[in-house]
Amino acid sequence: MSDCIFCKIIAGEIPSVKVYEDDTVLAFLDISQATPGHTLVVPKVHVPDLFAYDADLAAAVFARLPKIARAIKASDPRIEGLNVLNNNGEVAYQSVFHSHIHLIPRYSTADDFSIHFGDHTQDYTPAQLEAVAAGIRAKVGA
Ligand code: AMP
Ligand code: ZN
Protein backbone atom coordinates (compact mmCIF):
# COMPACT_ATOMS: atom_id res chain seq x y z
CA MET A 1 0.00 0.00 0.00
CA SER A 2 1.65 3.18 -1.22
CA ASP A 3 0.91 5.49 1.71
CA CYS A 4 1.57 2.91 4.43
CA ILE A 5 4.62 3.60 6.60
CA PHE A 6 5.19 -0.07 7.41
CA CYS A 7 4.92 -1.08 3.73
CA LYS A 8 7.59 1.55 3.07
CA ILE A 9 9.78 0.09 5.82
CA ILE A 10 9.30 -3.41 4.36
CA ALA A 11 10.20 -2.11 0.90
CA GLY A 12 13.33 -0.45 2.32
CA GLU A 13 12.09 3.00 1.30
CA ILE A 14 12.41 4.30 4.84
CA PRO A 15 14.87 3.02 7.41
CA SER A 16 14.23 0.69 10.31
CA VAL A 17 16.38 -1.03 12.88
CA LYS A 18 15.90 -4.65 11.91
CA VAL A 19 15.79 -7.54 14.34
CA TYR A 20 14.61 -10.41 12.13
CA GLU A 21 13.38 -10.94 8.59
CA ASP A 22 12.09 -13.81 6.48
CA ASP A 23 9.63 -14.25 3.63
CA THR A 24 6.61 -13.66 5.86
CA VAL A 25 7.53 -11.08 8.49
CA LEU A 26 9.84 -8.22 9.28
CA ALA A 27 10.66 -7.49 12.91
CA PHE A 28 12.18 -4.14 13.83
CA LEU A 29 12.60 -1.95 16.88
CA ASP A 30 9.71 0.34 17.70
CA ILE A 31 10.87 3.92 17.22
CA SER A 32 9.37 4.63 20.64
CA GLN A 33 10.88 2.01 22.93
CA ALA A 34 8.23 1.37 25.60
CA THR A 35 10.94 -0.73 27.22
CA PRO A 36 14.42 -1.50 25.89
CA GLY A 37 14.10 -4.06 23.09
CA HIS A 38 10.46 -3.23 22.23
CA THR A 39 10.03 -4.89 18.84
CA LEU A 40 7.29 -4.83 16.20
CA VAL A 41 6.59 -7.98 14.20
CA VAL A 42 4.92 -7.03 10.93
CA PRO A 43 3.50 -9.26 8.18
CA LYS A 44 5.11 -8.37 4.87
CA VAL A 45 1.74 -8.39 3.16
CA HIS A 46 -0.36 -5.30 3.89
CA VAL A 47 -3.14 -6.28 6.24
CA PRO A 48 -4.74 -3.53 8.30
CA ASP A 49 -5.61 -5.36 11.48
CA LEU A 50 -6.37 -8.73 13.06
CA PHE A 51 -9.90 -8.71 11.68
CA ALA A 52 -8.48 -8.99 8.16
CA TYR A 53 -6.16 -11.98 8.72
CA ASP A 54 -7.00 -15.34 7.21
CA ALA A 55 -6.00 -18.47 9.09
CA ASP A 56 -2.90 -19.15 6.99
CA LEU A 57 -1.49 -15.65 7.48
CA ALA A 58 -2.26 -15.77 11.19
CA ALA A 59 -0.57 -19.15 11.52
CA ALA A 60 2.49 -17.93 9.66
CA VAL A 61 2.84 -14.63 11.52
CA PHE A 62 2.07 -15.89 15.00
CA ALA A 63 4.36 -18.90 14.48
CA ARG A 64 7.30 -16.47 14.34
CA LEU A 65 6.61 -14.91 17.73
CA PRO A 66 8.16 -17.48 20.09
CA LYS A 67 11.57 -17.48 18.46
CA ILE A 68 11.71 -13.69 18.23
CA ALA A 69 10.52 -13.43 21.84
CA ARG A 70 13.17 -15.92 22.96
CA ALA A 71 15.85 -13.97 21.11
CA ILE A 72 14.77 -10.72 22.75
CA LYS A 73 14.82 -12.37 26.17
CA ALA A 74 18.23 -13.91 25.52
CA SER A 75 19.63 -10.54 24.43
CA ASP A 76 19.58 -9.02 27.92
CA PRO A 77 19.87 -10.89 31.21
CA ARG A 78 17.71 -8.24 32.89
CA ILE A 79 14.66 -9.27 30.85
CA GLU A 80 12.32 -11.31 33.06
CA GLY A 81 9.18 -11.45 30.92
CA LEU A 82 7.49 -10.06 27.83
CA ASN A 83 4.09 -8.70 26.86
CA VAL A 84 2.58 -9.48 23.45
CA LEU A 85 0.30 -6.64 22.42
CA ASN A 86 -1.72 -6.21 19.23
CA ASN A 87 -3.90 -3.14 18.89
CA ASN A 88 -6.86 -3.25 16.52
CA GLY A 89 -8.74 -0.05 15.77
CA GLU A 90 -8.21 3.49 16.96
CA VAL A 91 -10.29 2.82 20.05
CA ALA A 92 -7.76 0.10 20.93
CA TYR A 93 -4.81 2.51 20.48
CA GLN A 94 -3.90 1.40 16.94
CA SER A 95 -2.11 4.26 15.22
CA VAL A 96 -0.47 2.49 12.26
CA PHE A 97 -3.01 0.64 10.14
CA HIS A 98 -0.69 -2.08 8.92
CA SER A 99 -1.10 -4.86 11.44
CA HIS A 100 1.80 -5.37 13.84
CA ILE A 101 2.48 -7.25 17.01
CA HIS A 102 4.30 -5.51 19.82
CA LEU A 103 6.81 -7.62 21.75
CA ILE A 104 7.55 -5.65 24.89
CA PRO A 105 10.24 -7.09 27.13
CA ARG A 106 9.68 -6.58 30.83
CA TYR A 107 12.22 -5.67 33.45
CA SER A 108 11.84 -5.32 37.16
CA THR A 109 14.18 -2.36 36.63
CA ALA A 110 14.27 0.09 33.67
CA ASP A 111 10.56 -0.44 33.02
CA ASP A 112 7.60 1.91 33.46
CA PHE A 113 5.26 0.10 31.06
CA SER A 114 1.89 -0.86 32.51
CA ILE A 115 -1.39 -2.47 31.47
CA HIS A 116 -4.42 -1.91 33.65
CA PHE A 117 -7.22 -4.45 33.35
CA GLY A 118 -8.97 -3.33 36.52
CA ASP A 119 -11.07 -5.68 38.63
CA HIS A 120 -14.38 -6.42 36.91
CA THR A 121 -15.05 -9.76 38.53
CA GLN A 122 -18.29 -8.47 40.06
CA ASP A 123 -19.63 -6.72 36.95
CA TYR A 124 -21.50 -9.64 35.37
CA THR A 125 -23.86 -12.28 36.65
CA PRO A 126 -23.33 -15.81 35.27
CA ALA A 127 -26.41 -15.29 33.08
CA GLN A 128 -25.00 -12.06 31.69
CA LEU A 129 -21.68 -13.75 30.91
CA GLU A 130 -23.57 -16.56 29.17
CA ALA A 131 -25.50 -14.03 27.06
CA VAL A 132 -22.25 -12.33 25.99
CA ALA A 133 -20.70 -15.68 25.07
CA ALA A 134 -23.83 -16.77 23.19
CA GLY A 135 -23.61 -13.65 21.05
CA ILE A 136 -20.00 -14.43 20.14
CA ARG A 137 -20.66 -18.15 19.57
CA ALA A 138 -23.42 -17.25 17.14
CA LYS A 139 -20.85 -15.42 14.99
CA VAL A 140 -17.74 -17.55 15.31
CA GLY A 141 -18.76 -20.34 12.95
CA ALA A 142 -17.13 -23.73 12.74
P1 AMP B 1 0.08 1.04 17.43
O2 AMP B 1 -0.26 2.21 18.31
O3 AMP B 1 -0.22 -0.30 18.05
O4 AMP B 1 -0.51 1.19 16.04
O5 AMP B 1 1.65 1.05 17.29
C6 AMP B 1 2.32 1.70 16.28
C7 AMP B 1 3.75 1.74 16.71
O8 AMP B 1 4.55 2.02 15.58
C9 AMP B 1 4.04 2.82 17.75
O10 AMP B 1 4.51 2.20 18.94
C11 AMP B 1 5.09 3.69 17.07
O12 AMP B 1 6.09 4.13 17.96
C13 AMP B 1 5.65 2.76 16.03
N14 AMP B 1 6.20 3.41 14.85
C15 AMP B 1 5.63 4.37 14.09
N16 AMP B 1 6.46 4.72 13.09
C17 AMP B 1 7.57 3.95 13.20
C18 AMP B 1 8.77 3.84 12.48
N19 AMP B 1 9.03 4.60 11.39
N20 AMP B 1 9.71 2.95 12.89
C21 AMP B 1 9.48 2.19 13.98
N22 AMP B 1 8.35 2.25 14.72
C23 AMP B 1 7.41 3.11 14.34
ZN1 ZN C 1 1.20 -1.60 4.81
Q: How does pLDDT run across 74-96, given as a tens digit for each residue?
A: 999 999 999 999 999 999 999 99
Domain CATH number, residue 118: 3.30.428.10
Q: Which structural domain, as residue segments, surrounds residue 90?
A: 5-140
Burial (CB < 10 A; 0-12, 13-18, 19+), residue 38, is buried
Q: What is the pLDDT of residues 108-119, one digit of tens each?
A: 987 899 999 999
Query: Residue 31 Cα, ligand 1 centroid: separation in angstroms?
Result: 6
Please tell me the distance from the alpha carbon of residue 34 to that of residue 113, in angstroms, as a whole number.
6
The minimum-distance atom of ligand 1 relative to the CA of 94 is 4
Buried b (16+ CB within 10 A) or exposed e, 54-88: eeeeeebbeebbeebbeebbeeeeebeebeebebe
Query: Residue 125 Cα, ligand 1 centroid: separation in angstroms?
Result: 39
Angle subtended by helix axes 55-63 and 65-74, to nearest 10: 20
Provide the mean pLDDT of the chain: 96
pTM of the model as a whole? 0.96
Q: Is the pLDDT of residue 142 over 70?
A: no
Closest ligand to 13 CA? 1
Overall domain count for the chain: 1
Phi-psi category of residue 81: left, alpha or beta, with phi > 0 → left and psi -120 to 50 → alpha: beta
Q: What is the pLDDT of residues 28-57, one digit of tens each?
A: 999 999 999 999 999 999 999 999 999 999
